Structures are given as C-alpha cells and as structure tokens.
C-alpha cells in the first residue's frame, strides 16, 4: 500500500535529520508518496510567515505528516509555528514516549513511560498582555474590579485557561491509549492545590473519566512531587496525562531519564490528522554540519508507521535502531560519554547503520 505523507524538513538541523529518517523509513520496504512542504525560518522572507498555508493544505489532504523542528524567532512578536500547526489542525494530544534502550547512557534501566500532554490550551493559548500597553491596563482594572487584587502596573500577564472539554478529551485519549496498548495505570498530573479552579477542573474531570475505565488504575500527583518521583523511582509510573505546560516540562525531564533529547520521539494527534516530530528543537548551532542525532526523529517515524498500520515495519525499524545503539559504533556525539568523543559519527552515518541492520531483519 502506498502511503501519502506530508514531509516537512523544517529548519536548522531539521533537513538533515528528516533526510536520514526518510531513508530509513523507505528501507523498511513501506511505500511512501511524500509531499514535501517547506516551513521554517527561511520562509519568513519569502512569505512573511514560517508556516505557509500550503503546508496545512497538504496535511489536510494526506492526514499524516512527518515534521522536522522549526525555529521560533525570539522576541520579535512571532508565535511558534509548531504551536500554530497544533492549534490549526486541532492536534489536541501530544504523545511522547520515554523508553530506555539497552546501550543508552542513562542512570536508569527499564523505563517505559508514555507522556500524554494536552496540546491546545493552558498557558500556551497565547493570551498575553504586554507591559505598558492599554490592553494590559484594561486587564489590570478588570482584575482589580472582579477580584480585589491590585497588580503592579509594571506587570505583564499571561492567562492560563483550562476547559472541561479539552481536559475530558485528553484524559480519555490517555485511557484509550492505555487500554489499546496493554498499559496498567494512568496518572493525572496537576497543581490543583494552588490553581484550584483551572487545575482543579482538570483533576475533577480526570476523576470522572477514570470511572469509565475500571480496568485501568488511576491516581494523581501534584506536579512538583511528580518531578521528584520521576527522578527517584520512575519505574512506578506508566501513562502520565498532563495539561500543556507541565506536559512540556515533564516530557523533557523524561527525555533526560532515557538518554537525552537525541532519542525522544513525539506525535501530535487529533481526531482527523497526525503530525509526527521529535521532542527536540532545531538545534540551529549544529545546522548543516551532519552532526546531530537523527534517532529521535527515526523513533517518531516508528510511531508514524504504527499509526499507518505498518506494525511489522515499525517493529523492524525500532529493532534496527536499538541494535545500532547496543553496538555503540555508529552513534552521534550526544550518546557518547563526552561530546568531543572522536569516535562519534554524523547524522547520515547513523542512517547508513540503521539501513544496514534493517537489511538483515
Ligand atoms: P533544542 O532542542 O534545539 O536544543 C537543546 C539542546 O539539545 C542543544 O544543546 C542541542 O544541541 C541539543 N539537541 C537538540 N536536538 C539534538 C539532536 N537531535 N541530537 C543531539 N543533540 C540535540 O532546543 P532550543 O535550543 O531550546 O531550541 C532551538 C529552537 O528550536 C528554538 O527556536 C525553539 O523554539 C525551537 N523548538 C522547536 C520545536 C519543534 O519544532 N517542535 C521544539 C522545541 C524547540
């Protein structure tokens, strides 16, 4: 079967890791009809946006995309193209597995966590009021009138919004994932002791949804305690479901537990579309150097193969990557004991090694 997939190389190191990933995906024998679409910092000058409309149009056709990272220009009033993509396609669930593979340098063994991050609201919704603006003054007055709290006029404000509908669908997603993948437990992570209304709503909704899944254990943890627990005893946890910001932070923490961002994959899933991408960013300082690790994007490709129903190819690709890790010969600098290790190889050599392993599976 031929799978139509939108391929977005992105910018920074994105094009190199995308090319490496495209090569290993094709080496599984699965047939792809790639629709290559450009997004990223280089599109700004041409189109005045890092995310041209044709990218979204293509994903609406193919329903599936594999995406390299895209840089968010700092402090120039640009919103993140990554956040925009997730919002415009309503990719409400961000799935970020964190799994230890034998041979990865990590302080832990046997970690197999699934982070399910809400992707559309919370402090990421972009409701912000800049210091010194009339809008901020109006907000400060409204807050004083409605709460009696007088904020300092040199403040800036970001609004955290959590809805029942978005909480319900993300918690349901976590439980459905747990059920379909033979997982035993879902943990909801929050800070409802302080944010009683927003996180309180998330937690109350999670408790309600949990009642529909008596076959799966449910518990909750306050986010600060969760951070400590994940460092001390990560093996106690299975599927975590979190509002957007905590999900972002905890998924990087979890990437740290398993050997770093170079091996941490991700998927953004909605009811109609899915976009697969590594957790890490565009690492622009290493662009065009054939240096960074393509494995996080390759593992995102494994998730994509599963989504496309290509289970056998997914298992073979995962096995081939894990064999390369165990062998330890064809690894990029980030998986070496020291970043200046002279035996570290480049992005394309990792792809060659994975393809070689695939040819024997
Ligand atoms: P980053 O993930 O690009 O880099 C953080 C650190 O991890 C750096 O030291 C980098 O060298 C290293 N690293 C990242 N990917 C690696 C890989 N594949 N192999 C080896 N080492 C790797 O994070 P940042 O520096 O905070 O962000 C850079 C840009 O990327 C920013 O503009 C940010 O907004 C953007 N970003 C995009 C996405 C996305 O496209 N989904 C996600 C996160 C950040």
Q: How much distance in Å is there from the Cα of 281 to the middle of ligand 1? A: 3
Does 282 sit in the ligand 1 pocket, CB within 6 Å? Answer: yes
One-character DSSP codes across 246-293: HHHHHHHHHHHHTT-GGG-EEEEE-SS-EEEEESS---GGGTTSS-S-
Q: How much distance in Å is there from the Cα of 217 to the middle of ligand 1? A: 35
In this structure, the residue with its CA closest to atom 22 of ligand 1 is 262
**Mean confidence (pLDDT) of the chain:** 94
What residues have CB less than 8 Å from 197, skipping those under 6 apart? Answer: none
pTM: 0.91
- Please name which of 18, 29, 102 lies closest in space to residue 359, comparing C-alpha atoms: 29
Q: How much distance in Å is there from the Cα of 262 to the middle of ligand 1? A: 9
For residues 234-250, one letter each, b for 16 or more C-beta atoms within 10 angstroms of the residue's C-beta and e for the rest, the string is beebbbbbbbbbbbbeb
296-318 pLDDT per residue, tens: 999 999 999 999 999 999 999 99
| Pairing between β-strand 274-278 and β-strand 265-269 as defined by DSSP bridges | antiparallel
pLDDT of residue 352: 98
Q: How much distance in Å is there from the Cα of 207 to the middle of ligand 1? A: 35
Query: For residues 55 and 177, what is the distance between their CA atoms, to the nearest angstrom?
Result: 28
140-185 pLDDT per residue, tens: 999 999 999 999 999 999 999 999 999 999 999 999 999 999 999 9
65-101 pLDDT per residue, tens: 999 999 887 765 567 888 889 889 999 999 999 999 9
Burial class (CB in 10 A: 0-12, 13-18, 19+), 193: exposed
Residue 260 near residue 254, CB atoms below 8 Å = no
Does 38 sit in the ligand 1 pocket, CB within 6 Å? Answer: no
Does 71 sit in the ligand 1 pocket, CB within 6 Å? Answer: yes
Does 323 sit in the ligand 1 pocket, CB within 6 Å? Answer: no
Residue 227 near residue 196, CB atoms below 8 Å = no
Does 70 sit in the ligand 1 pocket, CB within 6 Å? Answer: yes
Query: What ligand 1 atom has the least distance to the C-alpha of 284?
Result: 28
Q: Which of 281, 288, 325, 344 to mutate to test the pocket of ligand 1 (most atoms within 8 A of CB)?
A: 281
Residue 298 near residue 317, CB atoms below 8 Å = yes
- Mean pLDDT of all residues in 50-67: 95
Query: For residues 220 and 210, what is the distance between their CA atoms, to the nearest angstrom?
Result: 11
pLDDT of residue 190: 98
Query: For residues 334 and 291, what is the distance between their CA atoms, to the nearest angstrom?
Result: 9
- The catalytic residue positions are 124, 191, 224, 248
Query: For residues 242 and 195, what is the distance between their CA atoms, to the nearest angstrom?
Result: 14
Burial class (CB in 10 A: 0-12, 13-18, 19+), 252: middle
């Amino acid at each position: 079967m031929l799978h139509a997939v939108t391929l977005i190389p992105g910018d920074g190191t994105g094009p190199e890791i995308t090319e490496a990933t495209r090569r290993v995906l094709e080496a599984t024998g699965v047939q792809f009809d790639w629709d290559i679409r450009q997004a990223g910092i280089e599109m700004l000058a041409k189109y005045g946006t890092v995310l041209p409309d044709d990218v979204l149009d293509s994903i609406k056709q193919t329903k599936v995309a594999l995406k390299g990272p895209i840089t968010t220009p700092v402090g120039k009033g640009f919103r993140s193209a990554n956040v925009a993509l997730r919002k415009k396609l309503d990719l409400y669930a961000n799935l970020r597995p964190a799994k230890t593979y034998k041979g990865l340098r990590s302080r832990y063994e046997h970690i197999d966590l699934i982070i399910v991050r809400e992707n559309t609201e919370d402090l990421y919704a972009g409701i912000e009021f800049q210091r010194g603006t009339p809008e901020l003054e109006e907000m400060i007055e409204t807050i004083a009138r409605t709460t009696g709290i007088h904020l300092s006029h040199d403040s800036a404000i970001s609004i955290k919004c959590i809805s029942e509908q978005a909480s319900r669908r993300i918690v349901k997603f976590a439980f459905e994932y747990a059920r379909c993948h033979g997982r035993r437990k879902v943990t909801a992570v929050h800070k409802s002791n302080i944010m009683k209304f927003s996180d309180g709503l998330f937690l109350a909704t999670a408790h309600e949804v949990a009642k529909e899944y008596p076959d799966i254990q449910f518990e909750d943890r306050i986010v600060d305690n969760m951070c400590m627990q994940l460092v001390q005893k990560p093996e106690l946890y299975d599927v975590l479901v979190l509002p957007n910001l905590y999900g972002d932070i905890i998924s990087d923490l979890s990437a740290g537990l398993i050997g770093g961002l170079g091996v941490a994959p991700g998927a953004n899933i909605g009811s109609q579309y899915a976009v697969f991408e590594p957790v890490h960013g565009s690492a622009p300082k290493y662009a065009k150097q054939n240096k960074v690790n393509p494995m996080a994007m390759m593992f995102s490709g494994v998730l994509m193969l599963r989504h496309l129903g290509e289970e056998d190819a997914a298992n073979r690709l995962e096995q081939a990557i894990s064999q390369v890790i165990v062998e330890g010969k064809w690894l990029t600098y980030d998986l070496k004991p020291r970043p200046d290790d002279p035996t570290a190889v480049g992005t394309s050599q990792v792809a060659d090694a994975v393809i070689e392993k695939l040819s024997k599976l």
